Amino acid sequence: MSSTPTISVVMSVYNGETYLREALDSILRQTFEDFEFLCIDDGSSDATPQILAEYAEADARVRVLSQENRGLIASLNRGCREARGRLIARMDDDDVSHPERFEHQLAFLEAHPDVGVLGTVAAYIDADGELTGGAWPRWAPPGMNGWAHLFKTNLCHPTVLMRREVLDTLDSDKGLYRAEALHAEDYELWTRALFVTHLANLPEPLLTRRKHDGTIGAQHAERQERTVIETMQKAHERLLGRSVPINAVALVRQIVRRGIVPGIKPPDESAEHLEAAARLIRDLYETYTRRFALDAESVPFVRRDAADKLLWLAKRARPKSTTTYLAIMNMLLRVEPRSLLREVGTRLKRKVARA
């Protein structure tokens, strides 16, 4: 490893002895070897300090930063600020990176200087390391990735490789990762990053992500969802340059979630609020496509996604108010006429079948 390595890997660990060795080994066995591995021991009380000390002794690329327990956000901010590499990679202490992860990500970034944050698809394993089936996120062109981040995270945090100069533009006295975005600090970061760089994913699964009861998503689902909605609202307001009602944001988020999160008060689905949510989608679509130069591959992805969201809202509005339903369908006509024609055709077929 050089004094200024190409990549700095940042991993926070708190009582991670169960899976830590497997995570460490997966990084140290990378085919691309010019990196430092910053492991922040966040006040662990199990065997984590001993395991980290053992690995640091055996491999000079491992740097252990020990501290009293301060939480994930503070740990990641410390690791990123002490990193010496021109690229920063994330890793979690219960996941497994494939050996070619850094090699493939680095090659992509060198070929695409406009991309500042690059993730990969992740396959899922259970607590015992067995594949559970499925992978996330689905690949999409960079322009669609930016659009998607207005409504959900489309980057798997422990897979990302990020350009240091991009992170420097996003850092401030509040920190790179923001304390107010507890349990959704990565999503909040991506909603700021989309305004300064392109976000992309490699289509191949280069990390296996472990699902178990100790993950943040499993333990803090309600708080995480509230933070996501609040973050969405800020991103929408930044893009549109005006205030956005939180209920409209919550309705749009409900489209993505396809349901209500237990413990989260469901948004008001009155005709008035459904129309407000539809106007939000229309305005976001028109402003996003005007502000960001989308490549030809991204345009149909974004248009169809906006149309699908409007159609979902129209169907919810139809039993409540014909006027609202027609208003939303008019917005759909502006965004994607073919979606409107398909919907009308489907309804005509149903009427004929019932006749």
- Label residue 347 by pLDDT band (50, 70, 90): low
Do 183 and 285 reside in the same domain of the chain? no
- Bridging pattern class, strands 35-42 and 115-125: unpaired
Do 19 and 151 reside in the same domain of the chain? yes
Which DSSP category does 181 fall into? G
CA 146 to chain centre: 10
Which DSSP category does 138 fall into? P
CA pair distance 158, 92, nearest whole angstrom? 6
Tracing tokens 């060198």 back to the chain, one arrives at 110
| Surface-to-core class of residue 153, CB atoms within 10 Å of its CB (0-12 exposed, 13-18 middle, 19+ buried) | buried
Q: Residues 129, 130, 133, 135: what is their CA dihedral angle, to the nearest 10 degrees?
A: 20
Do 45 and 155 reside in the same domain of the chain? yes
- Among 169, 165, 144, 176, which residue's Cα sits nearest to residue 79? 176
pTM higher than the cut 0.85: yes
Beta carbons of 100 and 142 less than 8 angstroms apart: no
Q: What is the structure's pLDDT at 263?
A: 77
Do 107 and 208 reside in the same domain of the chain? yes
Do 187 and 281 reside in the same domain of the chain? no
Q: What is the structure's pLDDT at 262?
A: 74
Do 172 and 282 reside in the same domain of the chain? no
At residue 217, does pLDDT exceed 60? no
Higher pLDDT, 21 or 217: 21
- Label residue 344 by pLDDT band (50, 70, 90): low
Three-state SS for 285-313 is HHHHHHHCCCCCCHHHHHHHHHHHHHHHH
Q: What is the structure's pLDDT at 293?
A: 86
Question: What's the average model confidence in pLDDT over 259-282?
Answer: 90
Q: In total, how many domains does the chain have?
A: 2
H or E element at residue 324: helix 322-335
CA distances to 90, 189, 297 from 157, rounded to whole Å, are 7, 10, 25
Encoding tokens for residue 284?
A: 């976001």
Domain end call among 189, 219, 249: 219
Encoding tokens for residue 145?
A: 């990735």
Domain of 340 in residue numbering reads as: 223-354
- Label residue 325 by pLDDT band (50, 70, 90): very high
CA pair distance 144, 302, nearest whole angstrom? 6
Q: What is the structure's pLDDT at 353?
A: 67
pLDDT in tens, 181-215: 999 999 999 999 999 999 999 999 999 999 877 66
At residue 13, does pLDDT exceed 60? yes
Q: What is the structure's pLDDT at 65?
A: 98
- Label residue 351 by pLDDT band (50, 70, 90): low
pLDDT in tens, 47-81: 999 999 999 999 999 999 999 999 999 999 999 99
At residue 119, does pLDDT exceed 90? yes
Do 69 and 117 reside in the same domain of the chain? yes
CA pair distance 125, 142, nearest whole angstrom? 27
* From 51-60, 70-79, 252-261, 269-278, the region with the lowest mean pLDDT: 252-261
At residue 232, does pLDDT exceed 70? yes
Biggest CA-to-CA distance, the chain: 79
CATH at residue 195: 3.90.550.10
- Label residue 142 by pLDDT band (50, 70, 90): confident
The amino acid that residue 40 corresponds to is: I
